[in-house]
Amino acid sequence: MYRTDEKHGRDGSLLSYNKDFDLPVRRKKNGEYKVPSGAVLFTCFTSDFLLDEADERRGEAWQFMRERSDVDFIFFTKRITRLAQCLPEDWGEGYDNVIIGCTCENQKRADERLPVFLSLPIKHRLIVCEPLLESIDLSAYLDPKRIESVSAGGESGNEARICSYDWILSLRCQCVDAGVSFTFHQTGARFLKDGRLYRIKRPYQKSQARKADIDYTP
């Protein structure tokens, strides 16, 4: 999650607000929003939306999402256990325009986080297995009425850990059996396939995943 910050010489573990923090509610001179209706905004993708340090200003972000109900907001988190205490008072069963992805890189994290994830009032849920570090059995959690999609991919960076294509295919099979959409997002930097370890440069990791042509939509 911190790779983009690392690439630009920033520490992703430190909280910062960039100049586009309030972009969703900015307006042009003619009064129209700068972000058009129907847009999809990926929120806090170089850190974690549920960081403790963000508590003071998270209310502003919820307000942006509330005001721009015509725009979809997506955020991923490994801190799903904090969500209940961070929700706005009017959250109810969830905002229709907020999509939350719960990350789980191995079986331990999946078993810790996904039961909590499924118990929370969220309208749109994604499971994000990235970086995928081992084979994961998600079958107990793949309820198509509650999980819209699973995304999987390897780790980037010079110190990336290996991602096996067998693990990716296993997740795909589980999604097909459950009737849940699946996306192979990227190979990662060290990709094991058919007994051979490939070192794949960052610009090609997503395109190589697309070439596998294994994405699934029920």
CB neighbours of 44 closer than 8 A, spacing ≥ 6? 54, 75
Residue 9 has pLDDT above 90, yes or no: no
Quote the CA–CA distance of 39 and 76 in Å, as a whole number. 18
When pLDDT is cut at 50, 70 and 90, the band that residue 199 belongs to is very high
Quote the CA–CA distance of 127 and 118 in Å, as a whole number. 10
pLDDT > 70 in the chain, percent: 92
User: With contact defined as beta carbons under 8 Å apart, do 30 and 64 qualify?
Assistant: no
Delimit the domains of the chain by residue range. 104-218
120-174 confidence digits (pLDDT tens): 999 999 999 999 999 999 999 999 999 999 999 999 998 999 999 999 999 999 9
**Length of the chain in terms of residues written:** 218
Q: Note if the pTM is more than 0.85.
A: yes
Taking residues 47-65, report their average pLDDT: 91
pLDDT for 7 equals 47
Please name the residue that has the structure tokens 């307006």.
Answer: 27
